[in-house]
Amino acid sequence: MALAALFTFLGYQPLWADPSSKRVRNAGIDSTGTTFVSSNANISITSEFPGGRMNRCDQISDQKFSITIKPERNRINDSAWYAFRVDSIDQDEVTIRLNYVGGTHRYDPKVSRDGKTWKATPELVTRRHPLGREVELTIPLDGKPIWVAGQELLDDSALEDWTQQLSERAHVQRSVIGESVQGRPLHRIDITESENPDYVFIIARQHPPEVSGAIGMMHFVEAIASDTEISKQFRNRYSAVVVPMVNPDGVAHGHWRCNANGVDLNRDWAHFTQPETRAVVDQLLKCRKVQDNSDAGQRLSLFIDFHSTFDDVFYTNPQKSDLYPTGFTENWLGAIQGRFPKYAVQQVENHNADRSTSKAWVAGTLGVTAITYEFGDETDRKTIRSVATGAAEEMMRLLVDLPTETSKPERVAVKANAPANF
Ligand SMILES: [Zn+2]
């Protein structure tokens, strides 16, 4: 109680100021988190915030703790997400052992003092298990809260602020296209100045920890919404449709991979069993609606799905595939390489082509070029900004130069449940 009073005096209300929270309040794997208070009450560690993940916390000594990190389900991609906040008084540092169950260390820590601005701090890792089963972080403390996470926390509310800011431009509209399993809204942004546009469809964040991909998506989309000459030309002919957060439940719960039903959404693009993938595919199909037989209807011209992996890479359709727009992938990646000669544009053809991914489904079922655009987990954020902006401008340049609709090829028939065996 004395500690709570001190925090109140300092104008800071820790989440655990409630005297009923003694040591561990653990409401299960999919709760918003758990809070641990040290035996001398000088240190509190919590994951009770959107994106937080700490499955268990044990005290080893006065200034040493062990945090257990587990995935939301068994047998999962090894992308062990963690995020917690440390509050303290009268402590210089704390040592936290991250103990991974069902995965290994992937993300070196980022820290924040306000939960919004982040800094990469790999130097906090002071010991590593050779097989990555655990690491020790030594975290300096100064009495102010410190957030520690695998990547920047880019949650629903941060995306909401971003879409709100974008939509202050006359050519940007926001709408809601459905709900996640747990009822979180799925947002759509439309960026266009055309009455009868063709479409570029962009999605991100099917996989919750893939924050660098989400950052890339934001810069990419900002370039499309900007006041440059090429973006105005683009918007006069095209609409960019963006679903920036496909898996808000997974992000809120700090999942490693899945939505609230424990389903990997980017393996659900054949049967569409989840509300998130169904909502997105409904919008996609509307964007390729044929209005009459004269072929004057709108068409989908390109699909891009932003993700993160160990390095920057484009997962593309096979080179010889007969997709619209013809040759787009080669021309686009070549243009990006030409623009950034010192940056290695990497392409992997036909990645996961036999799985039920968005890319395989859009290409195989709609006959449209579909690209999974991956940014590296640790790619410098300034590099992400410049490359994503440049990539957007080169995409717009190529699409603006495409012949107009009279020369469009036949559309591919839609089979909603077609196997993604492309
Ligand atoms: Zn992914």
Residues in the chain: 422
CA distance 171 to 239: 10
Q: Do residues 123 and 224 share a domain?
A: no
Domain boundary among 124, 149, 174: 149
Q: Find tokens 């260390």 and name the residue.
A: 105
> Domain for residue 422, yes or no?
no
Does 188 have pLDDT greater than 80? yes
Does 43 have pLDDT greater than 80? yes
What's the mean pLDDT in 405-420?
44
What are the residues facing 66 on neighbouring strands?
A: 58, 97
CA 270 to ligand 1 centroid distance, Å: 17
Q: Do residues 214 and 138 share a domain?
A: no
CA 417 to ligand 1 centroid distance, Å: 22
What's the mean pLDDT in 367-371?
94
The alpha carbon torsion through 142, 143, 145, 148 (nearest 10 deg) reads 40
CA 381 to ligand 1 centroid distance, Å: 18
CA 353 to ligand 1 centroid distance, Å: 14
What are the residues facing 337 on neighbouring strands?
A: none
Q: For residue 47, which of 166, 149, 187, 169 has the smallest C-alpha distance? A: 149
Beta-carbon count within 10 A of 397 CB: 15
Domain boundary among 149, 171, 200: 149
210 is catalytic: no
CB of 365 closer than 8 Å to CB of 415: yes
Lowest mean pLDDT among 15-19, 143-147, 256-260, 325-329: 15-19
Lowest mean pLDDT among 78-82, 144-148, 351-355: 351-355
How far does Cα 57 stand from its chain's mean position? 27
CA 32 to ligand 1 centroid distance, Å: 22
- Residue 134: band (very low, low, confident or very high) from pLDDT cuts 50, 70, 90: very high
pLDDT value at residue 319: 77
With a pLDDT cut of 70, the percent of the chain lying above it is: 86
CA 384 to ligand 1 centroid distance, Å: 17
CA distance 280 to 350: 22
DSSP string, 86-120: EEESS-SEEEEEEEESSS---PPPEEESSSSS-EE
pLDDT per position as a tens digit, 1-27: 344 444 443 433 343 333 333 333 333
CA distance 241 to 401: 20
CA distance 334 to 320: 16
Q: For residue 241, which of 227, 221, 260 has the smallest C-alpha distance? A: 221
pLDDT per position as a tens digit, 52-81: 999 999 999 999 999 999 999 999 999 999
- Strand-by-strand arrangement of the 198-204 sheet: 172-179, 185-192, 238-243, 198-204, 300-309, 370-376, 313-316, 347-349
Q: Do residues 57 and 145 share a domain?
A: yes
Average pLDDT, the chain: 88
Q: Do residues 223 and 333 share a domain?
A: yes
Beta-carbon count within 10 A of 406 CB: 8
Q: Do residues 333 and 369 share a domain?
A: yes
Does 193 have pLDDT greater than 90? yes
pLDDT value at residue 414: 45
146 three-class SS: strand
> Domain for residue 211, yes or no?
yes
Token digits of residue 294: 């004269």
CA 380 to ligand 1 centroid distance, Å: 19
pLDDT value at residue 3: 45
pLDDT value at residue 413: 44
Residues near 24 by beta carbon (within 8 Å), at least 6 away in sequence: 34, 35, 36, 56, 57
pLDDT per position as a tens digit, 207-242: 999 999 999 999 999 999 999 999 999 999 999 999
Q: Do residues 91 and 216 share a domain?
A: no
CB of 244 closer than 8 Å to CB of 204: yes
CA 206 to ligand 1 centroid distance, Å: 7
Q: Which helix (H) or strand (E) holds 388?
A: helix 381-400
> Domain for residue 421, yes or no?
no
pLDDT value at residue 31: 56
Q: Do residues 109 and 233 share a domain?
A: no
Residue 277 sits in a domain whose CATH number is: 3.40.630.10
pLDDT value at residue 355: 83
CA 315 to ligand 1 centroid distance, Å: 11
What's the mean pLDDT in 322-340?
96
CA 378 to ligand 1 centroid distance, Å: 15
CA 6 to ligand 1 centroid distance, Å: 44
Q: Which helix (H) or strand (E) holds 200?
A: strand 198-204
List the domain range (segments joined by +) for residue 381.
156-407
Does 412 have pLDDT greater than 70? no
Does 30 have pLDDT greater than 70? no
Q: CA-CA distances (angstroms) from residue 127 to 132, 182, 189, 378?
A: 10, 38, 44, 19
Q: Do residues 185 and 167 share a domain?
A: yes
The DSSP letter of residue 365 is I
> Domain for residue 144, yes or no?
yes
- Residue 354: band (very low, low, confident or very high) from pLDDT cuts 50, 70, 90: confident
CA distance 57 to 44: 10
Domain boundary among 149, 165, 189: 149
Does 421 have pLDDT greater than 90? no
Q: Find tokens 């809120």 and name the residue.
A: 252
Q: Do residues 328 and 399 share a domain?
A: yes
Token digits of residue 102: 């069902």
Structural domain count of the chain: 2
Given the residues 374, 378, 394, 410, the one annotated as active site = 374
- Residue 297: band (very low, low, confident or very high) from pLDDT cuts 50, 70, 90: low
Distance between start and end Cα atoms, the chain:
63
> Domain for residue 79, yes or no?
yes
